[in-house]
Amino acid sequence: MWSSFIFEIFWMILILSFFIPFIRANMQRSMREALIRQIETKRKSRVITLIHRQESMSFFGLTFGRYINIEDSEEILRAIKLTPNEMPIDIVLHTPGGLVLAAEQIARALVKHRGKVTVFVPHYAMSGGTLIALAADEIVMDPNAVLGPLDPQIGGYPAPSILSVLEKKDINEIDDETLILADVAKKATQQMKDFVTCLLKEKVNEEKAKELAETFCGGQWTHDYPITMDLLKQMNLPVSDQMPQEIYGLMELYKQTEQRRPSVQYIPAPYKSGEQNNASSKG
């Protein structure tokens, strides 16, 4: 009798462990949609999120990384098409980058939209994410958030680095594969510079746009170099630090999956100045 009871309990736990992640995911999705609707009502805009985190799959704890892909561009283009021409669009952007084609499609669609486009970057938007941010009429960043360079990556190598090989060696000493990579790198770099110039020439004059395109795409930085808000202001780009609190709340609903002990932990409540009497001040 007891063995039968224990066996039933075991199966109940197993079935629950299978369905609980799906129930939790549906609850999370509903909370996200409710907050998105709240932001839309407050700002009278269409809110679109492009947030890439490591996601979990079922109860086995498997995870997979995310990046900008064609499915993302298809969905965003569909969302833009469903938005009235004069309605503002707010994009919440959190991504390491991804496919250039997909990022360019999104950027072109945003530039064509007649209503104001605002991109919110609460943490980071690198590579293709930066391309999308540059298409916006205004970039709103957390003071500690960053964008990244736009040097194309060819076969896992930065295009400007591949081109630098041609400057240092006699062409007769370079193997055919490297020469082919260099040819592709040259085309990709010029294409990216032309596209960035096209994005920026409406915000600054064309000469300044070409100068900024060289800065973003020319290879003076590594691909993961953090471009801060202060640096963007020096470039005279339309950037602000007036991040709505609701955007941070939305990011809380896209937490990274917790399969192991969290590496960062704190009491999730704002403290007022002087609240902690024993807190030490900086020396």
102-148 pLDDT, tens digit each: 999 999 999 999 999 999 999 999 999 999 999 999 999 999 999 99
Residue at 70 is within a domain: yes
Q: Are residues 240 and 135 in the same domain?
A: yes
Query: Is 92 in contact with 120 (CB distance < 8 Å)?
Result: yes
Q: Are residues 202 and 79 in the same domain?
A: no
Q: Are residues 176 and 249 in the same domain?
A: no
Domain count, the chain: 2
pLDDT of residue 269: 74
Banded model confidence at residue 33, pLDDT cuts 50, 70, 90? very high
Residue at 246 is within a domain: yes
Q: Are residues 249 and 233 in the same domain?
A: yes
Q: Are residues 246 and 188 in the same domain?
A: no
Distance from C-alpha of 96 to C-alpha of 68, rounded to nearest angstrom = 8
pLDDT of residue 65: 52
Supply the pTM of this predicted model: 0.82
Residue at 9 is within a domain: no
Which residue range(s) make up the domain with 99?
19-148+226-258
Q: Are residues 131 and 179 in the same domain?
A: no
Q: Are residues 216 and 239 in the same domain?
A: no
Average pLDDT across the chain, whole number: 86
Instruction: Write down the H helix ranges in 127-253.
Output: 128-134, 159-168, 176-200, 206-217, 229-234, 245-252
Predicted confidence (pLDDT) at residue 5 exceeds the cutoff of 80? no
Q: Among the three residues 198, 222, 246, which one is the final residue of a domain in this structure?
A: 222
pLDDT of residue 98: 92
Q: Are residues 67 and 180 in the same domain?
A: no
Which of 82, 145, 134, 138 is CA-nearest to residue 106?
134
Average pLDDT on 153-175 reads 85
Residue at 143 is within a domain: yes
Q: Are residues 134 and 251 in the same domain?
A: yes
Token match 């997909």: residue? 102
Residue at 251 is within a domain: yes
pLDDT of residue 63: 43
Residue at 26 is within a domain: yes
Q: What one-character DSSP code corresponds to residue 58?
A: G
CATH code where residue 34 lies: 3.90.226
Residue at 105 is within a domain: yes
How many helices, marked H, and strands, marked E, lie in the chain? 9, 12
Predicted confidence (pLDDT) at residue 274 exceeds the cutoff of 50? yes
Q: Are residues 129 and 66 in the same domain?
A: yes
Residue at 5 is within a domain: no
